[in-house]
Amino acid sequence: MVNLKINGIAVSVPEGSTILDAAKLANVRIPTLCYLKDVQCVGSCRMCLVEATGARGLVTACTYPVSEGMEVRTNTPRVRKSRKTTLELILSTHKKKCLSCVRSMNCELQKLALEYNAEEDRFGTDHDIKPVDDLSASVVRDNSKCIMCTRCVAACDNQTIGAIGPKNRGYAKTIGSPYDVSLAFTPCVNCGQCVVACPVGALYEKSAVADVWGAIVDPDKQVVFYTAPSVRATLGEAFSFPVGTNVEGKMITAIKQLGDVKCFNMDITADLTIMEEANELLSRLKNGGVTPMFTSCCPGWIKFAEHYYPEILPNISTCKSPQEMFSALLKTYYCEKHGIKPENLYVVSVIPCTAKKFEITREELGEYTDAALTTRELAKMIKEAGIDFANLSDGEYDLPFGEASGAGAIFGATGGVMEAALRTAAVKLGGSGAPLQFKEVRGTEGVKEAEYNIGGAKVSVAVASGLGNARKVIESIKSGEKNYTFVEIMACPGGCINGGGQPYVHDEVRNNIDLKTLRAQALYDYDEDRSVRRSHENPAVEQLYKEYFGEPNSHKAHKLLHTSYCKREKY
């Protein structure tokens, strides 16, 4: 352990720790812009500069190692002046459209500029208005607001995609795609990790809010919303609720107050996915099909496989994602049952994911979803409607798509799809004594492995979240090092609870709390409270098969609930 003082506060930290690490233990705040835990630590923004004994000049707290007896000062006049000047230099090249920016009142640069009384025009305004890249179905890039922190680049590199990166040098440095092409023409998988990493408004999702408002007031449209499992655990953050608060009831009430709309529970098609996927896996094992089988719920992962590993496409389940299953169900079964013309039903999914916006444009999935709203976009609509979210009473989902199993809810956390599938497979293979919990596949680690004996059959599984970890798992399978039966992959680290469409979280929060674990715990707690916790026991799903599909993997189920994938170019 190394002993030092931060602003006179004695603290002991492990050898190799940085001044920033020590400051956290001393409960001393040091501002950062380019630093983001688990994403990037390069010390390039110079906001975390401090004075430290034994150092020549000011040093970056995020990279500078502590030493025995060191004394650190984080708030001297010299330090404060340096930070203010840094902010003013950044502002001199920043497009200051703060009032209409998507990050207004939730911008890390704006917050720091206010704290340090930075003059926005001290060094004049010297920036070129760069064209906005909005050709992607999911992500919009406005480089006029970029502050060159490179957090987006690090997030993309951690995903092993490299769709964006630094170009040129010095004052001419910018962030862009190879050959200056739009993100739409790169191997970008639309995961949106760059968006949640960006501290300003240089990256954001392509909004569907105006289209949804238009449909709500259109007398010829019947509008239905359905919400993804993880949204209940994250929407509250946009209204200052503590991280990990389940606001499902308030969310439902708020959606219904947007207009004459119905609100359904996407957990039901998570359950439906398990029915189709588990039976597909059992069929492959019984009939000598291709294994290991990979899950297919995550559109970011699917596009990644199409670009980088087309040889494993036969291994991926043919099931559509829960989003696309639900929309197909609404435009067919629901419309037939209620005498609605499909073209008059406007279907809105509320999702934690920017990749889902791309997914609804895929021709092979059918034109069933009219709009996909991120958690952030739903929060924006609620605020725009003047709804007092914090004081809403709890509402209930509309029938017939209201109640779902706990297994469907945990889809939002990494390992949740695997655990839900194992719960059903264990019953089908092992009988009524099968376990309910498979905790080995829980947790936010990048790769998890487990082996189970279910009904006398050995089932070896792996779970990966984050595409860098997905690549490791795939390479281990290709080399013959690993031999799995079933593999779950989610594009975003931690799964959907950390998706690219989730509420913006300042670096001070992301750097100091375990965001992924707290959000995931809300889903596991929700699961614990359900009376039905296995997908195949969901009465609504049982009714769907009885009335419409007949049985899992039937001809009608394949027509509406399954799909295929295609190879895409890497560049």
Residue pLDDT, tens place only, 270-282:
999 999 998 898 8
In this structure, whether the domain defined by 95-205 belongs to CATH 3.30.70.20 is answered with: yes
Please state the rounded mean pLDDT for residues 367-387.
Answer: 97
Q: How large a percentage of the chain has pLDDT more than 90?
A: 86
Residue where the block lists tokens 């060159």: 148
Q: How confident is the model at residue 193 (pLDDT cuts 50, 70, 90)?
A: very high
- 300-309, 321-330, 506-515: segment of lowest average pLDDT: 506-515
496 belongs to the catalytic site: yes
Centre a 10 Å sphere on the Cβ of residue 219 and count the other Cβ atoms it contains. 5
Span 99-143, pLDDT tens digits = 999 999 999 999 999 999 999 889 877 667 889 999 999 999 999
Q: How confident is the model at residue 8 (pLDDT cuts 50, 70, 90)?
A: very high
CA torsion 428→430→436→441, rounded to 10°? -90
Out of 205, 237, 248, 359, pick the active-site residue: 359
Out of 88, 277, 419, 488, pick the active-site residue: 277
Please state the rounded mean pLDDT for residues 534-539.
Answer: 93
- Flag whether pLDDT at 169 surpasses 80: yes
CATH topology of domain 217-268+324-391: Rossmann fold (3.40.50)
- Flag whether pLDDT at 300 surpasses 80: yes
The pLDDT, as a whole number, for residue 519 is 97
The pLDDT, as a whole number, for residue 571 is 66
Please state the rounded mean pLDDT for residues 469-478.
Answer: 97
Q: How confident is the model at residue 435 (pLDDT cuts 50, 70, 90)?
A: confident
- Flag whether pLDDT at 529 surpasses 70: yes
Q: Which residues, 6+ apart, have CB-to-CB distance to 445 below 8 Å?
A: none
The pLDDT, as a whole number, for residue 129 is 81
356 belongs to the catalytic site: yes
The pLDDT, as a whole number, for residue 461 is 96
Among 325, 365, 277, 321, CA closest to 564: 365
149 belongs to the catalytic site: no
Out of 17, 205, 496, 535, pick the active-site residue: 496
Q: Which pTM does this prediction carry? A: 0.95
Tokens of 138: 């999911």
Three-state SS letters, 37-72: CCCECCCCCCCCEEEECCCCCCEECCCCECCCCCEE
Tokens of 443: 């947790």
The pLDDT, as a whole number, for residue 480 is 95
Out of 24, 250, 320, 356, pick the active-site residue: 356
CATH topology of domain 277-319+406-561: Fe-only Hydrogenase (Larger Subunit); Chain L, domain 3 (3.40.950)
The residue ranges of every structural domain in the chain are 2-75, 95-205, 217-268+324-391, 277-319+406-561
Average pLDDT, the chain: 94
Pick the CATH number of 2-75 from 3.40.50.150, 3.40.50.300, 3.90.550.10, 3.10.20.740: 3.10.20.740
The pLDDT, as a whole number, for residue 285 is 86
364 belongs to the catalytic site: yes
Span 204-247, pLDDT tens digits = 999 999 999 999 999 999 999 999 999 999 999 999 999 999 99
Q: How confident is the model at residue 394 (pLDDT cuts 50, 70, 90)?
A: very high
Three-state SS letters, 388-404: CHHHCCCCCCCCCCCCC
The pLDDT, as a whole number, for residue 127 is 65
Out of 17, 207, 317, 465, pick the active-site residue: 317
Does residue 130 sit in helix, strand or coil? coil
Three-state SS letters, 302-356: HHHHHHHCHHHHHHECCECCHHHHHHHHHHHHHHHHHCCCHHHEEEEEEECCCHH
Please state the rounded mean pLDDT for residues 426-454.
Answer: 86
280 belongs to the catalytic site: yes
Q: How large a percentage of the chain has pLDDT more than 70?
A: 99
The pLDDT, as a whole number, for residue 541 is 94
The pLDDT, as a whole number, for residue 63 is 96
- Flag whether pLDDT at 433 surpasses 70: no
Yes or no: say if 252 and 231 are a contact pair by the CB < 8 Å rule: no
- Flag whether pLDDT at 25 surpasses 90: yes
Please state the rounded mean pLDDT for residues 193-212.
Answer: 97
Q: How confident is the model at residue 343 (pLDDT cuts 50, 70, 90)?
A: very high
Element spanning 507, H or E:
helix 507-510
Please state the rounded mean pLDDT for residues 479-499.
Answer: 96
359 belongs to the catalytic site: yes
Out of 88, 280, 306, 403, pick the active-site residue: 280
